[in-house]
Structures are given as C-alpha cells and as structure tokens.
Chain A
Amino acid sequence: GAGVSQSPSNKVTEKGKDVELRCDPISGHTALYWYRQSLGQGLEFLIYFQGNSAPDKSGLPSDRFSAERTGGSVSTLTIQRTQQEDSAVYLCASSLPASSRETQYFGPGTRLLVL
C-alpha cells in the first residue's frame, strides 16, 4: 500500500519568508510525527499528533514553528520568518496509536534550504 508522502520534496526560500510543508500519512494511521534532520543536530523530534487530541509540541524549537492536522489525516508544518538555521530535512512519520512498541514509518522528507 501507499506509504507516507511529503511535499514538496525540495524547497528553496529566502530568509524571512514563510514556508508550508505537507505530510500525508499512511491510511489508517492515527498517530503522526514531525522530525527535523540537520547536520549539526542529527534527528530531532518536533511534534506529535494522535487523533483529535491536543498535539505534543514539546519539540518545536521556537514559536515560528507550528503544525496542524486537519481531519485527523493530512498535516502541515509551517515555519514563519524562516532563518538560515532552519535549513534541514523535515521528516514526517506515521503509526498506529503511539506506544513504546509501535513502529513509525517515515516519508521521504522535504529538504528545506533557506538562503
């Protein structure tokens, strides 16, 4: 079946612009996660959604970052007033309801470059 899809695959933007990254999870997966992968910081958790519950935003690095999930499916990660340090690969993952035993399945990522 279809895996996690993300768009765009690459995004180049100018410092100070806003960007939106999209994630389409695996059908039937109620849990959705965003991570950031950068050279200096490795893989970092950003935010977690489970169904219609309030998201866990504990990993968001600043208030310029926000995310929403509409209808319990597609999610959008928004970065406002982008900075050069936001350049990274943004990975989305989904799973059945989160637990310490559940496998997360990752999308191909969006490579963001802020000039």
Chain B
Amino acid sequence: GNSVTQMEGPVTLSEEAFLTINCTYTATGYPSLFWYVQYPGEGLQLLLKATKADDKGSNKGFEATYRKETTSFHLEKGSVQVSDSAVYFCALPANQAGTALIFGKGTTLSVSS
C-alpha cells in the first residue's frame, strides 16, 4: 500500500519567518496529495491539495507542489503568523480506490510574536 513520511516537530518560529514542513510519499499510481491542518481544540481542516504531478496547491499563503521525481509534497509559507500555530498533517489515499487516507505523524508549529 501507499505510505507517507512527514517531518516531525515541534517547529518553533518567530512571526514572519519562512516555514517548510517536509513530506515524502510512496504510492501506486498518481493519487491526490493533501495537507490538513488541526487548530487547537478543533477537527481536521483541508488546507490544500494537488491532484497531479507538478500541480501546486495553495491556500492562506501556504503552498505545496506535487513532485513526482522526488516523491515529495513539502509545505511552505513565506511569512508565518501567530494564527498559523497548529498541527499540520500530510496525507494521501491508502490505496487506489481511495477508501481511506493515511496520514503522516503530524508536525506541531508554534509561532511567537
């Protein structure tokens, strides 16, 4: 089956710093790739997705590019804010039928002012 490996944190940054959270995967075929975010005390929210190779997903200043050559989907943001403090999960379908998602272990981001 498919698998995902995500950089573990915690990551602590000052406001306006540059953020990268690494995610690599193995997959059969070319499934969609996802980043989900979980704010304190809340459920999972879709942050962004990419559906095919070289696609760039973006939302709220975050970006991630579906890299087939390096099997990566790293999350980046040029200038983080305190409100970005959350746990970030990289995810992809567990199989070609897409009947379940598999998630990385999550990266906790703390941004201080």
Interface, chain A (partner B; CB < 8 A): 33, 35, 42-43, 45, 48, 50, 56, 59, 91, 93, 98-109
**With A100-B93, A100-B97 as given contacts, are A45 and B44 in contact (CB-CB < 8 Å)?**
no
Which of B12-20, B73-81, B98-106 lies at the binding interface? B98-106
Q: Which of A33, A99, A105, A106 contacts B100 (CB under 8 A)?
A: A33
Within 8 Å CB of A100, what residues of B?
Answer: 29-32, 93, 95-98
For residue B101, which residue of chain A has the nearest CB? A104
Identify 15 residue pairs between A and B in the complex whose beta-carbon atoms are under 8 Å apart, listed by A's number: A45-B101, A48-B99, A48-B100, A50-B99, A91-B44, A98-B97, A98-B99, A100-B29, A101-B32, A101-B51, A102-B98, A105-B46, A106-B43, A107-B43, A108-B43
> From DSSP, what is the main secondary structure of chain B's interface residues?
loop
Q: Which one of A35, A42, A43, A106 has the highest number of Cβ atoms from chain B below 10 Å of its Cβ?
A: A43
CA distance A45 to B94 in the complex (A): 9
Chain A nearest CB, measured from B35 CB (Å): 12
Within 8 Å CB of A104, what residues of B?
Answer: 101
Chain A nearest CB, measured from B101 CB (Å): 6
- Interface size counted on chain B using CB atoms at 8 A: 28
B69 interface residue (CB < 8 Å to A): no
Within 8 Å CB of B95, what residues of A?
Answer: 100
Within 8 Å CB of A103, what residues of B?
Answer: 32, 34, 46, 49
Q: Which of B41-62 contact A (CB under 8 A)?
A: 42-46, 49, 51
A42 and B49 contacting across the interface, CB-CB below 8 Å: no
